[in-house]
Structure 1
Amino acid sequence: MSIRSGFATFAGKSSLWFLKTFFNGGSSLPGKIALKLDPNILASLSKDYHVIVVTGTNGKTLTTALTVNILEQEFGDVLTNTTGANMLQGIVSTFLSRKKNKNKENFAVLEIDEASVSKVTEFLKPELFLFTNIFRDQMDRYGEIYTTYQLIVEGAKKAPEATILMNGDLPIFNSINTENPREYFGFNHKSDEEQMAHYNTDGILCPHCEHILHYKMITYSNLGKYYCPNCNFERPELKVELNEVIEMTNTSSTFTIDQEDYKLEVGGMYNIYNALAATAVAKHYHVAPEKIRKGLAYDEKVFGRQEVIKIGDKKCTLVLVKNPVGLNQVVDTMKLAPYPFSLVALLNNNYADGIDISWIWDSQLEELATLPIPTIITGGIRRQDMTLRLKVAGFDDTPISETEVLTDVIDQIKNVPTDDVYILATYTAVLELRKELIQQGYIKEDVAHD
């Protein structure tokens, strides 16, 4: 380490200690300080680490947490950005926060924002990339799905020897050649049955001939066993396969991957994909099935990922929603609930949420309207838009309360007629709600987030 890097590291770690000691925080500021003193500091800090980068539209945070849980069964402490600071300065802060394992290999599993992958790989050289998925999301930041995919491919290209583990069920991940070697995971849990994706689905044109793709199996959206009837484009060979979904509820799932049974303490098909991705990483490093099983069974909900919070006598499940595909999967999971629940929908359109909220009209909220939801509370900056969307979805006769102030939302939750409540919220709305719940004593400490 150079003198400049050493000084930058000292300054960054000192500021981190100060913030944690006196303000119970840290996050990105120490990284900003260190980068100001040495723009190449990340290269020094990440030396001798096995670095795994997790990126994609949905599932980064939970997939990262599951991957860390599994690898820690084999390799001991794993460095990860648990504060959710997933841009360059946050990654630097993450490395500043930990000491290396003296007698073991050092692993770092880093969740990185799609637009930041290329910036981070200027200085940090991963040995493995994990691409979860690419869906239409925050088009004001990322553009169309092909633009987003190009961003992360360009980032991976700066570490050309690193393998990319990719979701083989997603056509876009097989659309172009990459300089990096690729391996795929996916679902093979049903017999072939000719079908096509819903007409309101992105990413279903063949990248070779632009014919509409057909499917022999669909999990959701445009994911599945796809092929083009007009040319030779088809799903690639899977290295890691999900063989069976044994049981799936709104709170947990059991399934088989490569003939081994596992259980995940989070509900929904989309979270099985996250578990499959984490398992693919584990198998890449030859982690034994019993250790994978133990890592997946770890029952600790992360920020806004079916996080359960008790408000008064109400059991509230907080779920982050940010794009139509994700919201549709949340709706499908809610439909599995064997008990009645009330609904809270908090919609913001701050920069971090995505300014354009038209995505709520591409979601299938009509599916929720088939459930006997007795009362709805809407909040956030665009609460009126959410109220209108729910009414158009079919909640004509359901009482909907538009509530401007979060403290009033919390008070109203205490008086809903059901024991259970689902809270769907965009990113900054989740932050604001959790901050208020911490202040009121309903949450004792903060947890990881995107």
Structure 2
Amino acid sequence: MTLKSSLAITAGKSSYWFLHNFMHGGTSLPGKITLAIDPDVLKQLASDYEIILITGTNGKTLTTALTVKTLKAKYPQVLTNPSGSNMKQGIVTAFLTNKKAATGKKIAILETDEANVPIISAYVTPTAFVLTNLFRDQMDRYGEIYTTYDKILKGIKLHPHATVIANGDAPIFNSKNLPNPMIYYGFNQQADQEQLAPANTDGLLCPKCQHILHFKNRIYSNLGKYYCPHCGFKRPELKTQVTSVQKLTPQSSTFEIDDHQITLHIGGTYNIYNALAAYTIGQFLQVEPERMTQALSDPDSKVFGRQEVIQVQDKEVTLILVKNPVGLDQVLQMIKNDTQPFSLAVLLNANYADGIDTSWIWDGNFEDLPFARIPAVLTGGERYQDITFRLRVAGVPEENFEQQADLPTVLEKIKTMPTKHVYVLATYTAVLQLRKMLAQQGYIEGGMN
């Protein structure tokens, strides 16, 4: 270790100690301080770890958390960046704060922002890249899905011997020939039924001949058992697969992966994909199926901002991150299936981390919500007027509707909503702001920053 690296790591660890003990935070600032002293310090920090990089539009944080849970069933030494701080500085902080064991396999499961894959890949040597999905997200920053995939590929191409573990139901991940070993996962839970996706769905053109893709089984958006009737391009062979889906509720899902039954205590079909990715990674790292099914069925699956259920006085508040059309639609699909009355709050910010373009809210099917069973709807956040107008167009009854500009007032209103269960849909910085207030009032431990 060089003197510069040693000084950088010492400074980073000291800043983390102070921030963690006195400011109840410190997920990225220690990394920034460390990198300011030694921009190449990540090479030293990651040198003796087996590294898995997880990236994609939706599901990175939960896939990472479920993977860590799955691997810890066999490997006690698993490093990760649990708060979703997935830029270079957040990953450096994760290494700084990890307590190394003297012996045993050292594994790092790292959530990585799509645009940061080539940046991180220049400093570490991944054993595998995990690709969850690619949808339109923060168009001002990423551009179209093909542009985003090219950014990811720049990182993968630095490591042609690393295994790529990809969602086989996503056509884009089968669109380029790579020298890397490939492992695909996906859904294969029902008999073939010829169908097309809606015309406004992303990524529906065959990457080989530009013909419209058809589906024999479509899960949602452009994910499913796709094929091109013109040139024969089709979904690759799956290594792991969801073989049945038995029960879906807003709070849980019961399904089978390769005929092993799992009850995931987080709702939503999209979260079954996240569990499937975690299972596939575990299989890749030789964790036994019985250990994985037990770990994934563990009721303690709370993940920062990702369908956390937080007790706020007499309310069960489910906090859900929303950030793009496909993710929003899947959340709306999940909560509309709640058989009990519930209240709804939607908080919209438009900072850099959220994406400054809010037009994506018009692609979410709010019109499908069962407003007859939603006695209270509240809008808030810095762009509350945008989401208020969107929900008015969707048909929220005016007598059940309220808007508030500031989040402290939003939180107080949530406490007085007429139902026990409240769903709060919020963009990334709104999640951070709301969690900080909940921490200050003692409803959760610590704030994230």
TM-score category, normalised to shorter length: over 0.9
Residue number in structure 2 paired with 1:74 = 74
Which shifted more, 346-355 or 99-108? 99-108
Residue number in structure 2 paired with 1:323 = 324
**CA shift for structure 1 position 66:** 0.3
Residue number in structure 2 paired with 1:276 = 276
Deviations 1:39-89 (A, max 9, x none): 221111111211011100000000000000011110103100123221111
Residue number in structure 2 paired with 1:411 = 412
Residue number in structure 1 paired with 2:115 = 115
Residue number in structure 2 paired with 1:164 = 164
Residue number in structure 1 paired with 2:309 = 308
SS at match of 2:13: helix
Distance 1:146 1:100, change over 3 A: same
Paired-residue identity, %: 55
The answer to whether 1:155 aligns with 2:155 is: yes
The one-letter code sitting in structure 1 at the alignment partner of 2:353 is A
- Number of aligned residue pairs: give it: 448
> Quick one: distance in 1 between partners of 2:348 and 2:429?
9
The one-letter code sitting in structure 1 at the alignment partner of 2:297 is A
| C-alpha contact (below 8 Å) 1:369/1:393 kept by paired residues | no
SS at match of 1:127: strand
> Quick one: distance in 1 between partners of 2:34 and 2:346?
40
> Quick one: distance in 2 between partners of 1:188 and 1:77?
33
| C-alpha contact (below 8 Å) 2:266/2:301 kept by paired residues | no
SS at match of 1:73: coil
The answer to whether 1:258 aligns with 2:270 is: no
The one-letter code sitting in structure 2 at the alignment partner of 1:384 is Q
Note the 1:269-418 alignment, pairs <5 A: 269-298=269-298, 299-369=300-370, 372-418=373-419
Note the 1:89-128 alignment, pairs <5 A: 89-128=89-128
**CA shift for structure 1 position 397:** 4.6
The one-letter code sitting in structure 1 at the alignment partner of 2:12 is G
The one-letter code sitting in structure 2 at the alignment partner of 1:409 is V
SS at match of 2:129: strand
**CA shift for structure 1 position 155:** 1.0
TM-score (norm 2): 0.96
SS at match of 2:154: helix
**CA shift for structure 1 position 336:** 2.0
| C-alpha contact (below 8 Å) 1:407/1:436 kept by paired residues | yes
Unpaired runs of 5+ residues, structure 1, are none
| C-alpha contact (below 8 Å) 1:311/1:410 kept by paired residues | no
Note the 1:194-205 alignment, pairs <5 A: 194-205=194-205
> Quick one: distance in 2 between partners of 1:333 and 1:379?
22
SS at match of 1:424: strand
Which shifted more, 407-416 or 208-217? 407-416
| C-alpha contact (below 8 Å) 1:115/1:148 kept by paired residues | yes
TM-score (norm 1): 0.96
> Quick one: distance in 1 between partners of 2:370 and 2:356?
26
> Quick one: distance in 1 between partners of 2:177 and 2:423?
42
Distance 1:11 1:445, change over 3 A: closer
| C-alpha contact (below 8 Å) 1:373/1:398 kept by paired residues | no
Unpaired runs of 5+ residues, structure 2, are none
Deviations 1:416-440 (A, max 9, x none): 2211111111111111111111122
Residue number in structure 1 paired with 2:185 = 185
> Quick one: distance in 1 between partners of 2:441 and 2:105?
42
Distance 1:95 1:388, change over 3 A: same
